[in-house]
Structure 1
Amino acid sequence: MDKPETKEKQYDLLFEVKEKHGIARFGLMANESWNQDPRRTVFTLARYKFVSKMLAGRKKVLEIGCADAFGTRIVQQSVGHVTAVDFDPVFVADALERMNPHWPFEVFVHDLLAGPVPGRYDALYALDVLEHIAPDREDLFLRNAVAALEPTGVAIFGMPSLESQAYASPQSKAGHVNCKTGEALKETLEKYFHTVFVFSMNDEVVHTGYFRMAHYLIGVCSHLRSA
């Protein structure tokens, strides 16, 4: 069959990319948001965009709680290498099954509550993870997370704000057992880092506005404290 020809010649590239990569598929989690609430997909990817800009140029980056790893490629584009882990084998299997050989990254099952991720990294990030960790296990989770970080490494933690939970869906509320205010997130992260900057986020916009009006919070951390 002859290749279709678009009205404008520059769009031949579209068919070249299709031939090389195929048509991309959503992951299990991204598929749900795209079909149930498409705007939420944009909000999630915007968080990955923020991480990619903050960690640009880092050599070896760890993603904790990658779920279907659909947004991981956005960070991968800006750093040397990404290793992604999740405690749920279903999501890891989905990420591996969809892996594009032209965009390969390491992904495997690991539960941070069972121990640190093997290896050393100059940056790590965890988006939409900390709120799923019971408060009495939070210290264990964070100690194991930062154990893989080089002394000069940086870390980013993102989570829905406590105030946002009044508007959260029943599905979200079921797993959100540890949401925080902006002040509480900063206090928590300062137990492990000397320097913590907390940003507010509404929809896809990250800003320095009032925490109590933020739907989402992002903590950017550096200067790791000694164990």
Structure 2
Amino acid sequence: MSSETTKESQYGLCLDYYEERGLETFGLMSSQAWYDDPKRLTFTLSRYKFAAKMLAGRKHVLEVGCADAFATRIVLQETEKLTATDFDPIFIEDAKKRSVGKWQFDCVLHDMLSGPMPGKFDGVYALDVLEHIMPETEDQFISNMIAPLDEHGVCVLGMPSLESQDYASPLSKEGHVNCKTLPDFKALMEKYFHNVFMFSMNDEVVHTGYHKMAHYLFALSCGKKS
């Protein structure tokens, strides 16, 4: 391919990147989504973009439940340092394969129910994770997740709304044992933070509209309670 050129010279960069590294790859989960339902990736990427903008400028951010960490780069773009964790070794090994070059970040195997992460962070986020945590262990999960968060740190949690589950696909619903309404989600986070700001989301659009019609919910929290 080195002898080929693009019709417009600026797109030669595409060939240069291909010559240097080959094609970029999906992760295990993102590849499955791209094959089964490509539009789902737009929703996932949009969720990560929202989290990234809310965490912009943070010095060290912790991601909890990163899975294949395909979208983690979006948050890394806005922060100085990022550590991604998951309790599944298969996903962590998969994520490490794409943590290369300018997109390097730490990928650590860790079960948040077993205890807090070592270190100190000024931002933490978990997207599509809390709904997989049994209600009786959610307090343990959140307490451990925010334990290394400093007093001025920011926490972003995102999860499908309880109302959305009537319309969710069987694959999406599998493992969802703890979806919440917006008021219940806010009440939960107010146990841990002085300030909790709620947002709704439909497809890739974040808004402050009527929460019972939202498919997805965000809780943006700051001012950790002692």
After TM superposition, the score normalised by the length of structure 2 is 0.97
Return the alpha-carbon distance in structure 1 between the equivalents of residues 64 and 75 of structure 2.
Answer: 13
Which residue of 2 is the match for residue 111 of structure 1? 111
Return the alpha-carbon distance in structure 2 between the equivalents of residues 7 and 143 of structure 1.
Answer: 56
Deviates more, 1:60-69 or 1:89-98: 89-98
Unmatched tracts of structure 2, length 5 or more: none
Which residue of 2 is the match for residue 68 of structure 1? 68
Return the alpha-carbon distance in structure 2 between the equivalents of residues 217 and 2 of structure 1.
Answer: 47
Cα deviation code 1:168-193 (max 9, x no counterpart): 12222220000000111100000000
SS at the partner of 1:23? coil
Q: CA deviation at 1:143?
A: 0.4
- Asked if the contact 1:21/1:100 (under 8 Å) is kept, the reply is no
Unmatched tracts of structure 1, length 5 or more: none
- Asked if the contact 2:2/2:19 (under 8 Å) is kept, the reply is no
Which residue of 2 is the match for residue 204 of structure 1? 204
Which residue of 2 is the match for residue 138 of structure 1? 138
Cα deviation code 1:3-54 (max 9, x no counterpart): 3111111111111222334211100000111110000001000000111111
Which residue of 1 is the match for residue 155 of structure 2? 155
Which residue of 2 is the match for residue 22 of structure 1? 22
Return the alpha-carbon distance in structure 1 between the equivalents of residues 175 and 2 of structure 2.
Answer: 50
- Asked if the contact 1:63/1:82 (under 8 Å) is kept, the reply is yes
Read off the aligned partner of 1:217 and give its amino acid letter: L
Return the alpha-carbon distance in structure 2 between the equivalents of residues 42 and 22 of structure 1.
Answer: 24
Cα deviation code 1:114-163 (max 9, x no counterpart): 00011010000000000000000000000001101011100000000000
Which residue of 2 is the match for residue 220 of structure 1? 220
Which residue of 1 is the match for residue 164 of structure 2? 164
Return the alpha-carbon distance in structure 2 between the equivalents of residues 78 and 3 of structure 1.
Answer: 37
Identity %: 58
SS at the partner of 1:46? helix
Read off the aligned partner of 1:201 and give its amino acid letter: M
